[in-house]
């Protein structure tokens, strides 16, 4: 059995990341590994780590030698062996040619032409989320903007009634919760909550999919309900996948954008249009990739950069390291939105290339535009950053704002 899951690699950081002054800053470690040991076996986690762009690219595109099927039955946070919902096969954990069946029915709806049609709805959601901040001089950018915004967008596109959206967020939180102290009691609690959220969501989407069958709405639930290609369970799995794959990733993109602009003193330049917003989004994706790593399993013996990987071995592909590979990017450790051809792989590569990439880009562009129009200063407090790992962002980003008049509607 397989399940919808996040586009995420390892669950626990390799020791090397943690040991840097207790701070989670993987980039020094990446640089060292890219130069000295770009394909290395971590004895502790019993998996390979791969750091260079060309190697990561090769693994992601070689579907005959590496599978995206769910990994590591022995890791309680990435295996769903205990999931008794008996469903949820989705595109993200399936290889070609089966993958095409699970993705093909929806691909068109995520292409740039369709995404442009959704833009007015995304603009309306942005206004609503910003309106909720009215009158505040301080707010936490993560909790009060970057988390609610993408959840509301995806709920809107799925056609979830507004009154169910809080519930929707609670489910989404439970599904991505990670243990903080790693005690057995905490792990069990998180597993139980995750299981419960998954069952409730499955029940909820099963009902909606049945209700919308034959309907002519343009929402994604109706699209899934009406496709002949998918079983009922696969339709429900698709809905849950959108919620899982599209939220924390976009939250991190937005957070990392404000973090980077404030840190680099570039917020005003973006506000005035001196720096192009779309290039900023691409550079944030490269420089602080919201997904730092992905996993694959070898299904054939392969030689990679002089190392022998055997069928059955798990590999962690460090997108965050590939995105700072000096073979590909000039001055990769610098944030330079305007000065590079940006072939980053923040959205992956190969057949699993992020379905929501164009949507995420548009969301980030619209969000930045409206935020910077509303507030003439953000003053993000960068003194106590606490980056999250693997799905890379911040736990909180306090901002002090000057309010300007909302734009004319």
| Of positions 14, 26, 179, 290, contacts ligand HEM by CB under 6 A | 290
| Of positions 91, 122, 221, 401, contacts ligand HEM by CB under 6 A | 91
Closest to ligand HEM by CB, 49 vs 401, is 49
- How far apart are the C-alpha atoms of 106 and 244, rounded to whole Å? 16
Q: Under DSSP, is residue 58 helix (H, G, I), strand (E, B) or coil?
A: helix
| Of positions 50, 158, 360, 394, contacts ligand HEM by CB under 6 A | 360
Of 376, 369, 380, 365, the closest CA to residue 405 belongs to 376
As to burial, measured by CB atoms within 10 angstroms (0-12 exposed, 13-18 middle, 19+ buried), residue 119 is middle
37-45, 111-119, 206-214, 347-355 -> range binding ligand HEM (CB under 6 A):
347-355
- How far apart are the C-alpha atoms of 28 and 332, rounded to whole Å? 12
DSSP symbol at 164: G
Q: Does 253 bind ligand HEM (CB under 6 A)?
A: yes
Of 256, 282, 254, the closest CA to residue 338 belongs to 282
Closest to ligand HEM by CB, 17 vs 153, is 153
Closest to ligand HEM by CB, 109 vs 377, is 109
Of 172, 179, 335, the closest CA to residue 245 belongs to 172
Closest to ligand HEM by CB, 91 vs 304, is 91
- How far apart are the C-alpha atoms of 76 and 67, rounded to whole Å? 20
Q: Does 249 bind ligand HEM (CB under 6 A)?
A: yes
- CB neighbours (10 Å) of residue 125? 24
Q: Does 387 bind ligand HEM (CB under 6 A)?
A: no
| Of positions 347, 375, 389, 392, contacts ligand HEM by CB under 6 A | 347
Overall residue count recorded for the chain in this entry: 409
Of 256, 289, 355, the closest CA to residue 53 belongs to 289
Find residue 391's DSSP bridge partners. 291
Check if the beta carbon of residue 267 is closer than 8 Å to that of residue 372: yes
| Of positions 332, 356, 387, 393, contacts ligand HEM by CB under 6 A | 356
Check if the beta carbon of residue 94 is closer than 8 Å to that of residue 69: yes
Closest to ligand HEM by CB, 33 vs 68, is 68
Q: Tell me, residue by residue from 105 to 134, as one string, x for binding to ligand HEM by CB under 6 A and - for no binding.
A: ------------------------------
CB of 183 to ligand HEM, least distance (A): 30
End-to-end CA distance of the chain: 49
46-54, 71-79, 351-359, 399-407 -> range binding ligand HEM (CB under 6 A):
351-359
Q: Does 160 bind ligand HEM (CB under 6 A)?
A: no
Q: Does 388 bind ligand HEM (CB under 6 A)?
A: no
Closest to ligand HEM by CB, 222 vs 250, is 250
Q: Does 294 bind ligand HEM (CB under 6 A)?
A: yes
Q: Does 250 bind ligand HEM (CB under 6 A)?
A: yes
Binding residues for ligand HEM, how many (CB under 6 A)? 25
Spatial CB neighbours of 332, under 8 Å, sequence gap ≥ 6: 323, 324, 325, 326
Q: Does 284 bind ligand HEM (CB under 6 A)?
A: no
Q: Does 320 bind ligand HEM (CB under 6 A)?
A: no
Q: Does 242 bind ligand HEM (CB under 6 A)?
A: yes
Closest residue to bound ligand HEM by CB: 356
Find residue 403's DSSP bridge partners. 375
CB of 293 to ligand HEM, least distance (A): 9
Percentage helix, strand, coil for the chain under 3-state DSSP, each rounded to 5 = 50, 10, 40
State both tokens at 317.
């592909």
Closest to ligand HEM by CB, 267 vs 323, is 323
Check if the beta carbon of residue 368 is closer than 8 Å to that of residue 270: yes
CB of 284 to ligand HEM, least distance (A): 9
Find residue 304's DSSP bridge partners. 307
Q: Return residues touching ligand HEM (CB under 6 A).
A: 7, 68, 91-92, 103, 154, 241-242, 245-246, 249-250, 253, 290-291, 294, 346-348, 352, 354-356, 359-360
């Amino acid at each position: 059995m397989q399940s919808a899951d996040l586009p995420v690699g390892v669950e626990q950081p390799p020791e090397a990341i943690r040991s840097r002054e207790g701070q989670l800053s993987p980039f020094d470690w990446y640089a060292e590994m890219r130069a000295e040991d770009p394909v290395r076996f971590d004895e502790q986690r019993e998996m390979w780590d791969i750091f260079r762009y060309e190697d990561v690219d090769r693994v992601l595109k070689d579907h005959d030698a590496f599978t995206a099927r769910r990994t590591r039955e022995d890791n309680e946070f990435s295996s769903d062996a205990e999931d008794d919902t008996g469903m949820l096969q989705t595109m993200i954990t399936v290889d070609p040619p089966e993958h095409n069946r699970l993705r093909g029915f929806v691909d068109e709806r995520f292409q740039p032409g369709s995404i442009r049609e959704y833009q007015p709805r995304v603009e309306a959601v942005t206004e609503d989320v910003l309106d909720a901040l009215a009158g505040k001089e301080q707010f936490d950018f993560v909790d009060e903007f970057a988390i609610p915004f993408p959840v509301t967008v995806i709920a809107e596109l799925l056609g979830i009634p507004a009154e169910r959206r809080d519930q929707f967020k609670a489910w989404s939180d439970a599904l991505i919760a990670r243990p903080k102290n790693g005690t057995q009691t905490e792990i069990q609690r998180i597993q139980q909550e995750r299981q419960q959220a998954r069952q409730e969501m499955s029940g909820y989407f099963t009902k909606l999919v049945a209700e919308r069958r034959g309907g002519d709405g343009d929402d994604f639930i109706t699209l899934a309900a009406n496709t002949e290609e998918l079983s009922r369970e696969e339709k429900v799995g698709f809905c849950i996948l959108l919620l899982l794959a599209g939220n924390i990733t976009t939250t991190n993109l937005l957070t990392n954008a404000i973090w980077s602009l404030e840190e680099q003193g570039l917020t005003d330049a973006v506000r005035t249009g001196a720096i192009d917003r779309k290039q900023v989004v691409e550079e944030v994706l490269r420089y602080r990739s919201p997904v730092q790593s992905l996993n694959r399993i070898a299904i054939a013996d392969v030689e990679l950069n002089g190392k022998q990987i055997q069928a059955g071995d798990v590999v962690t592909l460090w997108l965050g390291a590939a995105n700072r590979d000096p073979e590909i990017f000039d001055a990769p450790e610098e944030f330079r939105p305007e000065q590079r051809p940006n072939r980053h792989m923040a959205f992956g590569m190969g057949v699993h290339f992020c379905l929501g990439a164009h949507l995420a880009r548009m969301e980030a562009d619209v969000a930045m535009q409206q935020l910077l129009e509303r507030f003439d200063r953000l003053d993000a407090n960068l003194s106590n950053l606490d980056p999250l790992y693997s799905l890379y962002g911040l736990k909180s980003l306090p901002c002090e704002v000057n309010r300007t008049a909302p734009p004319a509607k």
